[in-house]
Chains A and B, each alone.
Chain A
Amino acid sequence: MKCAECNGNLEKITGDFKSKSKSLGNITVPEISYMICNNCGDILLDPEMAQKVTTFKKKSELELIMKLPVGEFLAVTEAIEILGITKQAFSKNNKIRRNFIYNIKMGKKKLYHKKSVELFKSKGDGRFLLSKQQNQSNKVEFKAQYDLNDFSSLLQRSSFVGLYHIEAYSEEANYA
């Protein structure tokens, strides 16, 4: 099959697939089948593989958000105050609804990451690099900022809210 970009030959490859995102930087997704042009490097993915890449990214992102120190998260009222908008404008903002601000769910309450809120205010996108890039191999390192202090603050926060269950924003997404 010919590449529509340069007329080179499209080759089917199964293996590690390199991609990038704002939250993860450069990542390698394992076991992806894709077509790559041997001339221009253009890559095409079928819907199933594209979904697999997206799911991998979202899942990795969630894991890293969960590992952020819970003390860095704000209640919705605090986030609204920083943004200087109304509660209605906050809840209707399509980018906030699409998780352009990192957030976690504690029971029924959503908490928003402070740095992400501030970034969203200044740039319209609160996503920042969550992972530490691992040497030259472009693999995401999942050793995020998580230690015992974070865990105890998580427990304090949880008991303050009266809830012990914490989950990330993935209620509508099925990452099973």
Chain B
Amino acid sequence: MLKPYPLKKVKELLKSGHYVINSNALESADDDFNWGPAEIKKCLLKLNSRHYVDDRTKNHYYKTKHHTRFPNTKMDYYKAKKILEGFDIYTHFYIRSSDETLVISSFKEL
């Protein structure tokens, strides 16, 4: 079973600005929540690593899978209910190994 990226590291990358957002994720955050990158960041900083299936109201970590086209890259999936301003979110991201940058691939309503 694949291990997720340590959330501590993910949050450090967010705090230090070492992240990029896919344009589709930015558009869906705008469409679904009227949010921009500041809210996306705020939301990701609130994620926890407890398994979502154990408690769907409080836990966020959903699964880790290999990237569809990059077998060496794993992707972490999170689902979080009422995480910010009462919204439920679904997101997935990975850490690009070449330059240790967090890539937010998706961010939308759960």
Contact = CB atoms under 8 A, between A and B. Distances in A.
B23 A21 contact: no
19 contacts: A4-B67, A4-B103, A5-B69, A19-B23, A34-B23, A35-B20, A42-B23, A43-B23, A43-B24, A44-B22, A45-B21, A50-B37, A53-B26, A54-B36, A54-B37, A55-B36, A58-B36, A97-B85, A98-B85
Interface stretch (B3-11, B49-57, B92-100): B92-100
| Most chain B C-beta atoms within 10 Å of own C-beta, residue among A4, A51, A54, A57 | A4
A99 B34 contact: yes
User: Which are the 4 A-B pairs with shortest beta-carbon distances?
Assistant: A54-B36, A94-B86, A43-B23, A50-B37
Interface string B22-43: 1110110011011111100100
A165 interface: no
Contact of A94 (B20, B24, B87): B87
A46 interface: yes
Contacts, number: 74
Contact of B26 (A22, A50, A55): A50
Interface residues on B, range: 20 to 34
Interface residues on A, range: 20 to 34
B30 A98 contact: no
Nearest to B70: A4
Contacts of B41: 47
A97 B85 CA distance: 9
A47 B24 CA distance: 14
B19 interface: yes
Given A6-B69, A21-B27, A47 B21 contact: yes
Contact of A4 (B31, B35, B94): B94
Nearest to B14: A47
Given A4-B96, A50-B37, A94-B85, A44 B21 contact: yes
Interface string B52-68: 00000000000000010
A87 interface: no
A99 B24 CA distance: 21
